[in-house]
Amino acid sequence: MKLRSHLFACIPAALVALPLSQAAAQGVNPAPGIINSPPNSFFGAVAVSVANRLQLLGPSGSTAVLNYLTFANHFTQRNEATAAIYVYFNQSSAADCGNSEGYSVIGLFEAQPGQTFQTTFPSGITLKPAAPGHYWCLMGSVSIAGNPGYYAAPIFGYAGYVLNGPPPLSFLAADPLNLSLATRTH
């Protein structure tokens, strides 16, 4: 229960860190000082477990632009261990992203205990299926230095907007403690 309460404390911090102003930079300002999100913007955060091939976002047949990622390591991380996430974009002909028709690396992000790694992509990273009827997924592999038997689950967050099709859904099975926040849309 103590771990769950610590995770609940991290989730709002991860969401506050989501830079809606970055997404808003793509929007149209009707008046000075007013910031609007682009149409069909989305964002979310999920507690991630140590594993390979976690589906973080998708599968989706939409075309979307990812413009922000965040990765937070809990301040009470076991043995003061660094948490890391390797994020990649997977192409698939199956709606479950179980097979791979190719992938593109987005990056390896690390965070010390109590730290949050944040990055923006000013031009955005376009996520789209390789062909009509195909899908994409945002995937990740998470590790904690020293491979402890138990750990505080790091938080992964994202933001972007859809160019065509419905907003992608976060893959809630990546969250073993059911602490996920569903993808939000504007």
Note whether residue 35 is domain-resident: no
For residue 79, give its domain range.
2-28+42-185
Note whether residue 85 is domain-resident: yes
- In angstroms, the CA 121 to CA 123 distance is 6
pLDDT in tens, 98-131: 778 888 999 999 999 999 999 999 889 999 999 9
CA distances from 44 to 9, 103, 164, 171, 183 (A): 16, 22, 19, 11, 5
- In angstroms, the CA 82 to CA 78 distance is 9
Number of domains in the chain: 1
CATH code, 8: 2.60.120
**Assigned token pair, 149:** 């038997």
The pLDDT of residue 176 is: 40
**Assigned token pair, 16:** 């506050």
pLDDT in tens, 9-63: 444 444 434 443 333 334 444 445 555 567 788 888 888 989 888 888 889 999 9
The pLDDT of residue 67 is: 92
Q: Are 173 and 50 in contact (CB under 8 A)?
A: no
pTM of the model: 0.70
pLDDT in tens, 149-178: 888 999 999 999 999 988 887 654 344 443
